């Protein structure tokens, strides 16, 4: 299968503190990778380095297709007066890749409508983002992340603040993006149900990569450890 991402000898420091050390891995087209590990292990720093949001102190990050969708942690708002509408929020996922003038054209509007329909939120199109529930906002922000048809979608604990019903619906949406639209998924999560049901690979990070491989093999290692 085709490689979509290669990371070689990656290290990241904040001041003198080395949060990631000698990270090496490859991601294949169609992978669904659950990135797990303790708090402060460097998981968010890893994806931010891949996205170019922070600069590593050493190493290489090679992408076959530079279009990446990103849903960061806790991005929704409780401000009911926040003026942006759903369609305006989603359009931001298209404007970031445009040269000046950054305007929404007819083709962009069609992409927005297709994405709204895919995530079953067409009826929210003209609503203010602050008037929506947490689950609805998370769907809108996911729409913003995928409206530009990314080859890789990176999500940082997207269901941590959602109730169980919305959490299941959201995980099912990500699963369909992976299986039907063939979007490669990198998901930082503590949600065991998502790990067990959908991901094909596990990456366990604690400053270094402790394990990276098939989910089934990781489960076997855990079981063996529990019997020791």
Summarised one tens digit per residue, pLDDT across range 166-191 is 888 888 899 999 999 999 999 998 87
Which of 102, 121, 149 terminates a domain? The answer is 149
Q: SS3 of 150, please?
A: coil
**Segments of the chain scoring below 70 in pLDDT:** 1, 74-81, 193-194, 220-228
Residues 114 and 182 in one domain: no
Residues 89 and 135 in one domain: yes
Residues 85 and 185 in one domain: no
Residues 212 and 110 in one domain: no
Residues 43 and 94 in one domain: no
- pLDDT value at residue 188: 94
Which of 91, 122, 149 terminates a domain? The answer is 149
Q: Specify the DSSP element, H or E, that contains 132.
A: none
- pLDDT value at residue 77: 64
Inter-CA distances, 137 with 4, 11, 190, 211, Å: 29, 34, 21, 33
Residues 137 and 167 in one domain: no
- pLDDT value at residue 198: 85
Residue 147 token pair? 């409206």
- Beta pairing class for 32-36 and 201-206: parallel
Structural domain for 10, as ranges: 1-67+150-228
Domain count, the chain: 2
- Beta pairing class for 208-214 and 201-206: antiparallel
Residues 167 and 144 in one domain: no
Whether 228 is in a domain gets the answer yes
Alpha-carbon distance of 157 to 225, in angstroms, equals 26
Residue 81 token pair? 């007066």
Residues 106 and 165 in one domain: no
Residues 134 and 164 in one domain: no
Whether 96 is in a domain gets the answer yes
Residues 92 and 154 in one domain: no
Which of 149, 178, 194 terminates a domain? The answer is 149
The predicted model scores a pTM of: 0.89
Alpha-carbon distance of 58 to 119, in angstroms, equals 39
| Residues forming beta bridges with residue 20, ordered by sequence position | 12
DSSP state of 75: -
Residue 161 token pair? 């603040």
| Residues forming beta bridges with residue 71, ordered by sequence position | 155
């Amino acid at each position: 299968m085709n490689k979509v991402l290669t990371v070689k000898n990656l290290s990241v420091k904040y001041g003198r503190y080395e949060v990631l050390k000698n990270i090496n891995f490859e991601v294949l087209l169609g992978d669904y990778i659950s990135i797990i590990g303790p708090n402060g292990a460097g998981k968010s720093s890893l994806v931010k380095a891949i996205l170019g949001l922070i600069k590593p102190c050493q190493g290489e990050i090679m992408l076959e297709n530079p279009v990446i969708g990103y849903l960061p942690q806790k991005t929704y708002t409780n401000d009911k007066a926040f003026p942006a509408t759903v369609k305006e929020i989603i359009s931001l996922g298209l404007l970031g890749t445009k040269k000046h003038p950054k305007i929404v054209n007819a083709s962009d509007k069609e992409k927005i409508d297709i994405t709204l329909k895919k995530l079953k939120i067409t009826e929210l199109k003209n609503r203010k983002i602050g008037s929506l529930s947490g689950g609805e906002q998370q769907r809108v922000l996911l729409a913003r992340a995928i409206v530009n048809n990314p080859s890789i979608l990176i999500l940082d604990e997207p269901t941590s603040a959602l109730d169980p019903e919305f959490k299941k619906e959201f995980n099912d949406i990500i699963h369909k993006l992976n299986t039907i639209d063939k979007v490669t998924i990198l998901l930082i999560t503590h949600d065991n149900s998502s790990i067990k049901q959908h991901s094909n690979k596990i990456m366990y990070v604690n400053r270094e990569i402790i394990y990276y491989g098939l989910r089934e093999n990781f489960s076997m290692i855990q079981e063996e450890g529990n019997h020791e």
